[in-house]
Structure 1
């Protein structure tokens, strides 16, 4: 169901006389571009199979132009509809990046100040909220309680389907921490930012985004909506329950749409990124401020800039928009490169693929951020050699290609994909490799212990749950499982009935 790469060179050319030096030089960039496209296509098709991603779009922006635009797979499993350039995907929380741009547009207009308290623009807030600045809302260092229960995905309060009741309930909750002390991602920040944008622009949030960004960028088909709305061309969204696909019922309440709710395509987001970097949406100094990572009260860097996760700060710098573990875009300002990958699988994690794609255009990037490419090559090697000796296999790959280790998060995701496929022994091998590479990761030991349970190796599970708790005394999952396993270990075996 994946698109096949079209032939771009005529067979008749094989029978022509050799090209002149000038012609050969002219053809070299074309051949190089084809090699890049073939490499990216092979990589994406492999990862779609690995991750069970039904449909995917990619757009690559290089030097202010879209240099690659491809569509793969199906937009609807139910109806067998292929992904096309017109297919729209939910970008979920990557919407926050556009909210950051909207705030900076108001800053340019003199209608908002980043260091001003939110109470300057919104009256009647709880006393503890009033001194929180606009910048602290944008970079998630506000300390405000979250209107969305992250554990359940429901709104807080006794009426989780009632936005007004939830907004009232969250304002009665205590602060999570003193403003600026640490980072905690939450949706309350962006509910407030939507209110600021509406009050200071004089129009609904969605209209300000449409007029201020969609229209000047030429995004004619992008818009807001969830499962309750009719969105022409919308790709269905899925998640995997075991090995079965299930429909994602998207619910983006209107009052929370500054944090999630945009549907777009890779090509249209590519246009938006071009408009953003060419000065159509923001002045250069405003763009620089937008992408400047926040700072905590102790002077340490925060993980986010103004609406944008700050992926890397040095060398091949990257800022991003990431949503729902299914849609992502990275901008590499120092390399004049941006990449958009959208999928219709929650848990597809396209953000793990983007650095590898970028490495096809900026080979030097692989030395800094080529861990995902190392993981990809390791999976190819496993197809030939199996899961025995993963460590030595990875070492050989790294040495041959001058690559760093795969990221801990990618190894963890790979291990859980194998568990979902009931390939327990293979999952154990991957989790053991992760613990070998990241021995001080509480999450890594927790994952290995969980795989040990699945394999029926109680001693392994207990050992690594204990180590996880040693590294993170607040790991509730490990604590609970350890109690249960130790209880089972001490309990006498049940008598057999003959």
Structure 2
């Protein structure tokens, strides 16, 4: 077959392919490229991805290496620890018992458990689920469960500790309450909570590869666990390559963490939940996904993204494309977008891979305005600034910001937000734009060592070593303990 005929066949095939299918293929390919780039940037050995629309899995893919020691490729059957995403399963279990009339989330935990300290007795199931209880934590300062694996000893030790704060005053991530929830599920369901979750969620949703376990268990096709940090002289330091991580969850702790699963199984779980197979009443799901309101009327969460916490489910509470977003071990995450027909599961085997930080960008391949490059996620005032910069040029950032302030005295640009946006622009290969944003930050916050440090870093990347050196020196004058600036000054001065 000659070259001309080959081209003709290709064109005919392209014309016969539906436009919607062509778009899906292009989207899928673009996501693959993006995911592989993220894996390379973050040193993630293996990643599983599932995307759900219209209660169907429209993309299921696995990338990378499940086992670095033996160079075993990851597959769709590879099993990943989901760590604290387990808490979302516990939230569903509690709501299942609520639908059966066996409890109310507003009930105090003392209705179901005896021998609790007096200060614990009025705490409600809802406050325990949402990490607003003020209970002392059953983890020690090294993130190890108290009691050396003994439930009795662990509870004895934690009950002797004082409350951390007045119930409802703030959000503080706490594992103790989830151990208590496990005891309540045991009592009210008539079976161990692991069995209850297996029967009522894993089997109902169609999750054949999902199970409870940890690093101690021999799990076929496990993707294992890796991390980029190691302990040196009592401090965590960064490795250049992933090292093996060991995680153990005592049986009584597995309402908080301990489920192993696949992206495909997790997608089936989300679909079963949305189709009413796990919870019959839509109001139950609405209650489960409603973030707790603190005593001051606000919500509290992990960070600016997962900024609220509901019944076992972190929430991404925002005006645009809100979501619920369980995260686990800094390695796995799933987002269910509440106003969009879209859910995304990302499981990895790297602690510190933090896929919750790039799930929104994956969503952007289906909802265009969610791309970071289109300004998604920027604070309202930053969006106003961005709109003007796009019209008048980033070189005019200082004067534009000044005019916006004159027009509205309450207009304020936060230092950290500007800094974050600057690095986003840098990642998007927009070095000139990033430089202008970092320069603006030094003008707005002349007393910030970090502002000058970031500006110097990007000047150095841009090849302007003289100005980079000047700004590193300004940074170290403001903060003599800035080790990065000191190292960069030494390096640049020697050239």
Please classify the TM superposition score into its range, dividing by the shorter chain length: 0.7 to 0.9
Displacement, 1:320? 1.1
Map of 2:187 onto structure 1? 199
Contact residue 85 and residue 328 of structure 2 kept, 8 A: yes
- Judged with a 3 Å threshold, the aligned counterparts in structure 2 of structure 1 residues 25 and 365 are, in CA distance, closer, same or farther, namely farther
Deviation readout 1:167-211 (Å, 9 max, x if unpaired): 211111111111011110110111111111111111101101100
**Which whole-Å CA distance do the structure 2 matches of 1:253 and 1:152 have between them?**
16
3-state SS of the aligned residue for 1:154?
coil
- Judged with a 3 Å threshold, the aligned counterparts in structure 2 of structure 1 residues 248 and 170 are, in CA distance, closer, same or farther, namely same
- Judged with a 3 Å threshold, the aligned counterparts in structure 2 of structure 1 residues 185 and 438 are, in CA distance, closer, same or farther, namely farther
Map of 1:300 onto structure 2? 298
- When normalised by structure 1's length, the TM-score is 0.74
Query: Would you say 1:314 and 2:304 are equivalent positions?
Result: no
Map of 1:137 onto structure 2? 128
Map of 2:8 onto structure 1? 15
Match of 1:353 among 344, 358, 361: 358
Map of 1:274 onto structure 2? 271
Query: Would you say 1:463 and 2:451 are equivalent positions?
Result: no
Displacement, 1:461? 4.5
3-state SS of the aligned residue for 1:263?
strand
- Judged with a 3 Å threshold, the aligned counterparts in structure 2 of structure 1 residues 121 and 92 are, in CA distance, closer, same or farther, namely same
Equivalent residues in 2 for 1:187-266 (5 A)? 187-241=175-229, 242-266=239-263
- Judged with a 3 Å threshold, the aligned counterparts in structure 2 of structure 1 residues 368 and 279 are, in CA distance, closer, same or farther, namely farther
Contact residue 310 and residue 320 of structure 1 kept, 8 A: yes
Displacement, 1:15? 1.6
Displacement, 1:301? 2.4
Map of 1:126 onto structure 2? 117
Deviation readout 1:292-329 (Å, 9 max, x if unpaired): 11111122224101111111242311001100110000
- When normalised by structure 2's length, the TM-score is 0.74
- Judged with a 3 Å threshold, the aligned counterparts in structure 2 of structure 1 residues 106 and 223 are, in CA distance, closer, same or farther, namely same
Map of 2:106 onto structure 1? 115
Contact residue 411 and residue 430 of structure 1 kept, 8 A: no
Displacement, 1:339? 0.1
Match of 1:175 among 158, 163, 173: 163
Deviation readout 1:407-455 (Å, 9 max, x if unpaired): 969959x89xx9xxxxxxxxxx999689769969999679979x9xxx9
Contact residue 411 and residue 431 of structure 1 kept, 8 A: no
3-state SS of the aligned residue for 2:223?
coil
Map of 1:83 onto structure 2? 74
**Which whole-Å CA distance do the structure 1 matches of 2:78 and 2:475 have between them?**
46
Structure 2: 5+ residue runs without aligned partners?
230-238, 301-307, 379-393, 399-412, 428-434, 458-468, 485-495
Structure 1: 5+ residue runs without aligned partners?
1-10, 372-390, 396-403, 419-428, 466-480, 486-498
Contact residue 326 and residue 342 of structure 1 kept, 8 A: yes
**Which whole-Å CA distance do the structure 1 matches of 2:181 and 2:448 have between them?**
35
Contact residue 58 and residue 70 of structure 1 kept, 8 A: yes
Query: Would you say 1:362 and 2:350 are equivalent positions?
Result: no
Displacement, 1:364? 2.8
- Judged with a 3 Å threshold, the aligned counterparts in structure 2 of structure 1 residues 430 and 271 are, in CA distance, closer, same or farther, namely farther
Map of 1:401 onto structure 2? none
Displacement, 1:363? 1.3
- Judged with a 3 Å threshold, the aligned counterparts in structure 2 of structure 1 residues 250 and 13 are, in CA distance, closer, same or farther, namely farther
**Which whole-Å CA distance do the structure 1 matches of 2:254 and 2:347 have between them?**
19
Map of 1:42 onto structure 2? 33
3-state SS of the aligned residue for 2:347?
strand
3-state SS of the aligned residue for 2:269?
helix
**Which whole-Å CA distance do the structure 1 matches of 2:170 and 2:447 have between them?**
20
**Which whole-Å CA distance do the structure 2 matches of 1:90 and 1:136 have between them?**
26
Please report the RMSD computed on the Cα atoms of aligned residues, expressed in angstroms.
4.1
Contact residue 43 and residue 241 of structure 2 kept, 8 A: no
Instruction: Answer with 258-267 or 434-443: which moved more.
Output: 434-443
